[in-house]
Each structure stands twice: as structure tokens, then as C-alpha cells.
Chain A
Amino acid sequence: MIAPDPPGIRRRAFPVNRLARFGWAALAVYVVYAASLLDLTWTRFVVGLDNGARFFDRMFPPDFSANKMALLYVGVRESLEIAIIATFFGILLSLPLGLFAARNLMPVWVTWPARAMIALCRSFHPVIVAILFVKAVGFGALAGILALIVASMGFIAKLFAEAIEEISLKQVEAVRSTGASFMNVIVMGVLPQVLARFTGFGAYQLDSNLRNSTMVGIVGGGGIGATLFTAFQRFDYDFVLTILIAIISLIMIGEVLSGWLRKTFQ
């Protein structure tokens, strides 16, 4: 039989974490304080909502006129080109970079610089990298492509390296013991172990680059983002909605495609 609740038994089973309680309380206090600093008042919110409603109203109906559709087509095509070219070269450059960064196959004097390079590629958001490249090589798709190549390298080279670090070295050892050269060991001992995961990462990166390619245009990197930004500035809100619909469809198609790629290569 269970004894009637003796005093303190609940406390003993679930001791209070005073530090955590204090932390949550401190966070709540800070949120209120920060909101007061930023003048986030209810009136401000209501005025904003009203403004939003008018903006939303002007978006409908979306503008499907022929000249706008031509603009849209050019933008979407350029975004696609940016995404696919950036993914291709991003993966191509990530393959050796990821290999060099794998600590189980490479000596420390190779992995260290490779890891530093990856960290550098990862340290800035693609928008910031895109701004840098727009300044460096001028407006247009080239800047967008370069920015997304850097972003892709930061992301998948790291994943490639991690995938390589998780392989079974027993299989590698067996291939090495046949007298295979280092590159042959990579081709027959390492690659088969990681290829399926690499394909998955590549498909994911294509998906992610599709999304990012719509964004680099906003800072001058070409693609549908540039068209979107212009439409905003000209208050063509009905065309903005058309562009948003196009972007959503693009991302969804990309999602389906990358899912299919991953499944095929498992």
C-alpha cells in the first residue's frame, strides 16, 4: 500500500532548481524592460495593424498583366540560374575542403587551415556576404552567385567533414592494406560510405540556395529579389503579391525535387 503523503516527499522527488527559476524570472523582466525601451506600446501596435490592413488591401488582386509576367519570368529564371550554378560550384569546392577538414584522414596541419576556411565562410549571413560581393564585383547575378557559393561552402563542407569523420575506418584499413594509393582509398573506401549522405546534403543545399537566391537580389545580387525590391519601392503592391506567389511555388517545387533526390540516392 502507498503511505499517505508524508511531509516533504514531493520536494524530495522533484527538488527545486533555484538557479533556473531565477533565470526565467530575469528573462521575463528583461523582455518587459527591452520592450519599454523600444517604445512597443499597444497603441503603436494597433496603428501598425491598421497600416498593414491597407497594405494588404492594395495587394489584391495580384497583378498578372503580360509585361509584369515577362519581368517575373526574367527574375525567376535568373534566380534559378544563380541557385543551380552556386550549388554546383559550392559542392564542387566543398568536396576537397570537407575532405581536408576531416580529422580522421588528414594530418592536423591540413585540417586546421581547412577548418579555419570553413569557419570564415560560415561567419557571415549570406546577405552580408552578398553586400560584400556587390561592392567587390558590381551589381548583378555574379555577386549573388559568389555569395551563395561562399554560403554553400560554409555549410556543406562542414557537413561533408563530419560525415567523413563518422565513417568506419575498418573498411578504409582493408582497402589501404591492398596497396591502394591514397586517392584510391578515397574513391573505393571512403566515398561509398559517404555518398548517400553527401547527396542528401547537396539536395538540401540546392533547396536552401533556391530560397537564398530570391534574397540576394534585394542587396543587388540579381534574380527575383531585385524585381521584388523594385516593386516595393514603386509601391506596386499587387505585383509584389505576384512575385511572392512565384517564390512560394519555386520553394515548394524545390522542396519536392530535393526530397526526391534524397530518396533516389539513399
Chain B
Amino acid sequence: MNEAAVAATLATGSGRDARSLVIRNLVKEYRRGVPVLRGISLHIPGHGITAIIGPSGTGKSTLIRCINRLVEPTSGSIVFRGHDLARLRGRALREARRRIGMVFQEYNLVERLTVIENLLCGRLGYISPFRAWLRRFPDRDIAGAFSLLESVGLSDFATRRADSLSGGQRQRVGIARAMMQEPDILLADEPTSSLDPKTSVEIMELMARIAGERNIPVIVNIHNVELAKRFAGRMIGMANGEVVYDGPPEGLTDDHLKKIYGGEGWLE
């Protein structure tokens, strides 16, 4: 990624690539001198699904969490919609987070809240604590929540408590919650790893459809290489905190997979 391209990204206020994400020299050390991310540089286009694959503990999750700052990057920059996300603090950070949706491996729903309350959590960036406490969300948000519930196929579950749902249903709620934010980008951290194979495909289909309708980019960490190839327009392979493959799914060969995951016995 050269300087001119970054400047162009910063300058564009509209257009197809206004939602592209530029990561440069991103380093994260949980312990001093032991980097988990070793200077990651990526340009993620403002549309389509980008899948990040790699073995456990290689920093995929850390990378995705640096983007919405659930993890603090040690150094480097993450430029999105004209802001360096890595430098934001306080209110500016919260305002940036409002437009970054996230889907989690274990759904991370607030178990004791109802489905509709969980969806409305996606609007918490726009409402005072007092109104949130009294559940006085704007009518527009509540209407939006109902229509999203319909689009993820859970209309009948609005007032059910989240802890009464199955895994697949919970992840649908998780996706709907992220979509309530009207996000400019969707991050998904192993969204299918806790689900059975059939439900995994359904969840990926749902994410692809819903992000496609809104034309927002999706960055998804995923263990299942076949599933990634099936849905992603672009694959990023990580190993030991570095990017070792970056290109279309068709270009990903067994040699690449050996390089990403190490060894080869498991490929046979």
C-alpha cells in the first residue's frame, strides 16, 4: 500500500471504496518483546467478504479486535473513513465503534435480555443511559429491530430471552445486533466455530446476503478453509503473526496451506 493510495482513501468521502480499510505496520505485543502481530499491512476493499485463515494463536482474533479496539494495538495505524482507529480515544473512539459491527464466536449476547433488547444494544451509542434503562429507544430503532428480526427469520422470538435460543438462532441475533448499528464494516471473529456444519453454512449465507444488501465489507476470521473459499472474494493467510498469503481463493494452493498451518500430513 503506497502513500498516494492511502491519501486517496483518506480523501474519498464517497464512492465504492469509501469503506475500505488500510492497515499499516500493525504490531501488537501482549508481553513486551513478544509480538503477536508482527507488522501487518493490509488494504481491505470497501466491499465483499475477506476471510482470514490461519492456525489458532496466530493473531487472527487480535488483528480483528485491533480494528474496533477491543484490543489496544502496540503500534501501527488502521485508517477507516478518514480516521486512524489506532489513535482514537474516548468519545471519538465510541463514535467510530458505533459504525463497526462485530459478530463473535460465542455470540456474546446479553443472556438475560430479550432478543429485541439485544438487538437494541446495537443502538446504545446514540442513547442516554437513563433512556436505555427505561428502554425508551426511538420508535425508528424499534421498528428497525423488528424488520431485522424478520430478515434473519426470528420474528416470533422478539420477547424471548436470549438464553432460551439455540446456537444458530443466537448467532442470527448476533448478526442482527451488529446490523442494528448500520455499520460501515462488519467484523466476524470465528462466527461459525461453535456451530454445526449445516448451521455454519446458513450463518455464512446470512452474513453474505445481509452485508451484500447494504454493500458493506466483511472481515471474517474462520477456521474452515472450505467454507472460507466458498464465501470469500479474498483470502488472507496468517502464520506466526504475519500475512503469508493474500489473494483470491482460487489462488490458494496446498503449498500455501502448508505454509500457513505447517506440516502436511493433515492435508491428505
A39 to B102 alpha-carbon distance, docked (Å): 74
Known: A170-B106, A178-B121. A196 touches B129 (CB 8 A): no
Chain B residues within 8 Å of A171, by CB: 108-111
Task: Count residues of chain B with CB under 8 A from any CB of chain A.
Answer: 32
Contact B68 A177 (CB under 8 A): yes
Q: What 0/1 readout, one digit per residue, does chain B (46-87) give for beta carbons within 8 Å of chain A?
A: 000000000000000000000010100000000000000000
Contact of B110 among A177, A183, A189 (CB under 8 A): A189
Q: In residues 92-130 of chain B, which contact A (Cβ within 8 Å)?
A: 94-100, 102, 104, 106, 108-113, 117, 121-125, 127-129
Interface residue? A249 (CB, 8 A)? no
Known: A184-B127, A187-B133, A188-B117. A179 touches B95 (CB 8 A): yes
CB distance from B49 to the nearest CB of A (A): 20
Chain B residues within 8 Å of A173, by CB: 70, 104, 108
CB distance from A185 to the nearest CB of B (A): 8
List chain A positions with a Cβ less than 8 A from chain B: 168, 170-171, 173-181, 183-189, 191-193, 195-196
A196 to B161 alpha-carbon distance, docked (Å): 14
Contact B68 A188 (CB under 8 A): no
The contact sample of 22 A-B pairs, CB cut-off 8 A, is: A173-B104, A174-B102, A174-B108, A174-B109, A174-B177, A176-B97, A179-B95, A179-B181, A181-B124, A181-B125, A181-B129, A183-B129, A188-B113, A188-B117, A188-B124, A189-B121, A191-B133, A192-B113, A193-B110, A193-B111, A195-B112, A196-B112
Chain B residues within 8 Å of A193, by CB: 110-112
A175 to B129 alpha-carbon distance, docked (Å): 13
A192 to B109 alpha-carbon distance, docked (Å): 11
Contact A177 B113 (CB under 8 A): no
Chain B residues within 8 Å of A178, by CB: 97-98, 121-125, 177, 181
Contact A179 B132 (CB under 8 A): no
A174 to B110 alpha-carbon distance, docked (Å): 8
Contact B112 A180 (CB under 8 A): no
Chain A residues within 8 Å of B99, by CB: 179
Contact B121 A170 (CB under 8 A): no
Known A-B contacts: A171-B111, A173-B108, A184-B129. Give 14 more (CB < 8 A): A171-B110, A174-B110, A174-B121, A176-B70, A178-B97, A179-B98, A179-B181, A184-B132, A187-B132, A191-B133, A192-B111, A192-B113, A193-B112, A196-B112
Contact A180 B124 (CB under 8 A): yes
A179 to B184 alpha-carbon distance, docked (Å): 13
A119 to B210 alpha-carbon distance, docked (Å): 52
Contact B121 A175 (CB under 8 A): yes
Chain B residues within 8 Å of A179, by CB: 94-100, 124-125, 181
Chain B residues within 8 Å of A196, by CB: 112
A187 to B108 alpha-carbon distance, docked (Å): 16
A176 to B104 alpha-carbon distance, docked (Å): 13
A193 to B96 alpha-carbon distance, docked (Å): 27
Contact A174 B113 (CB under 8 A): no
CB distance from A256 to the nearest CB of B (A): 26
A183 to B127 alpha-carbon distance, docked (Å): 11
CB distance from A195 to the nearest CB of B (A): 7
A181 to B95 alpha-carbon distance, docked (Å): 10
Chain A residues within 8 Å of B97, by CB: 176-179
Chain A residues within 8 Å of B95, by CB: 179
CB distance from B145 to the nearest CB of A (A): 13
CB distance from B118 to the nearest CB of A (A): 9
Contact A180 B94 (CB under 8 A): yes
CB distance from A166 to the nearest CB of B (A): 13
A185 to B97 alpha-carbon distance, docked (Å): 13
CB distance from A221 to the nearest CB of B (A): 35
A181 to B100 alpha-carbon distance, docked (Å): 15
Contact A175 B110 (CB under 8 A): yes
CB distance from B136 to the nearest CB of A (A): 12
Chain A residues within 8 Å of B128, by CB: 184
A170 to B194 alpha-carbon distance, docked (Å): 15
A171 to B125 alpha-carbon distance, docked (Å): 16
Chain B residues within 8 Å of A174, by CB: 102, 104, 108-110, 121, 174, 177
A265 to B20 alpha-carbon distance, docked (Å): 47
A184 to B127 alpha-carbon distance, docked (Å): 8
Interface centre among A171, A177, A195 (most CB of B within 10 A): A177
Chain A residues within 8 Å of B127, by CB: 184
Chain A residues within 8 Å of B70, by CB: 173, 176-177
Interface centre among A179, A186, A187 (most CB of B within 10 A): A179
Closest-by-CB residue of B relative to A168 is B111
Chain B residues within 8 Å of A186, by CB: 129
Chain B residues within 8 Å of A175, by CB: 110, 121, 124
